[in-house]
């Protein structure tokens, strides 16, 4: 594309020509593709984040909404008053209850992610190594639970795990136990609920990575005398690391803030940050404190993820 000829362009100043050249070099197609998700994130993530952050810097008030405004101004007196309350964040470090809730949430989410990986990796490996026709059926079975309501699936586990539920009845029928086991309203039930619910989020990234793996590497290892177990740890597992990281993040992040599963399957001593947020918002009506808890949880989750992604980007560049 050449610069149009004419007296208007001949006499144009250098800045105008530079602007024209800059606009000509822009890849408008790429800019448009990037603008759509950027706008989406700005509207549905960044703006709500700013709203919650603003509420976390306010004070509780008996009003609608139940918090004080940060800015107060009087046009007649011609003054503007900005009042920031950092007490909510300071109270998080003073009261061990919130620290215990964070640690308990991270522990439950971490253990659940570990077991989801143990269960999901063999399933993903089986799907990736199956025939194309069988593979489509197995993938459909993995996605099938999403067709059912999340709440109904959690309620179904209540029927399985209660004292007179299917699990206890079966174990007593085969003579494995004499009395029903207490499984419902325990951390064990929460682990089962989270692993079952988020297992597809672990399987699908693993399947995507394993399906792309070059099988000739395993054949070469076998020709060189490597045992299957050695080929798995030396070839398959290292190549599956991107899928493992993606699956663990997809399970761990929502599990930390989970509310429904601990509320239905966990006991009164099952402390997770999702339940704390619910209590602060709807029982205590302390929106500023709840917002501060949510902001700290977001920062604690986002920063490690950014570091992990940054490390992955450097390794791929190398």
- Could you report the per-residue pLDDT of 283-316, keeping only the tens digit for each? 888 899 999 999 998 888 877 777 766 666 665 5
**Mean pLDDT, the chain, whole residue set:** 84
Higher pLDDT, 262 or 71: 262
pLDDT of residue 194: 95
pLDDT of residue 200: 94
3-state SS, one letter per residue, for 22-47: HHHHCCHHHHHHHHHHHHHHHHHHHH
Calculate mean pLDDT across residues 194-222. 90
Calculate mean pLDDT across residues 169-188. 89
15-69 pLDDT, tens digit each: 665 555 655 666 666 767 778 888 888 888 889 889 999 999 998 888 788 888 8
């Amino acid at each position: 594309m050449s610069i149009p000829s004419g007296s208007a362009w001949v006499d144009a100043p250098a800045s105008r020509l530079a602007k024209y050249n800059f606009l000509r070099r822009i890849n408008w197609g790429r800019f448009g593709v990037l603008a759509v998700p950027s706008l989406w994130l700005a509207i549905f993530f960044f703006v709500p984040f700013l709203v919650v952050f603003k509420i976390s810097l306010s004070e509780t008030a008996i009003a609608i909404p139940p918090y004080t405004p940060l800015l107060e101004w009087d046009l007649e007196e011609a003054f503007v008053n900005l009042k920031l309350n950092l007490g909510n964040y300071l109270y998080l470090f003073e009261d061990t209850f919130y620290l215990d809730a964070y640690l308990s949430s991270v522990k439950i989410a971490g253990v659940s992610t570990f077991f989801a990986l143990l269960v999901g990796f063999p399933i993903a490996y089986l799907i990736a190594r199956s025939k194309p026709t069988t593979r489509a059926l197995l993938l459909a079975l993995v996605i099938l639970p999403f067709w059912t309501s999340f709440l109904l699936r959690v309620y179904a586990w209540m029927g399985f795990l209660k004292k007179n539920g299917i699990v206890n009845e079966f174990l007593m029928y085969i003579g494995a136990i004499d009395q029903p086991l207490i499984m419902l309203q325990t951390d064990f039930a929460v682990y089962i609920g989270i692993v079952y619910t988020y297992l597809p989020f672990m399987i699908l990234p693993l399947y995507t990575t394993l399906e792309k793996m070059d099988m000739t590497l395993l054949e070469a290892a076998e020709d060189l005398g490597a045992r299957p177990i050695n080929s798995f740890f030396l070839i398959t597992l290292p190549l599956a690391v991107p899928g493992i990281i993606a699956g663990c993040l997809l399970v761990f992040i929502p599990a930390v803030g989970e509310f429904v599963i601990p509320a239905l399957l966990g006991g009164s001593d099952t402390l997770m940050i999702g339940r704390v947020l619910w209590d602060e918002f709807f029982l205590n009506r302390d929106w500023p404190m709840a917002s501060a808890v949510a902001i700290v949880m977001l920062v604690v989750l986002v920063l490690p993820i950014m570091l992990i992604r940054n490390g992955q980007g450097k390794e791929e560049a190398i």
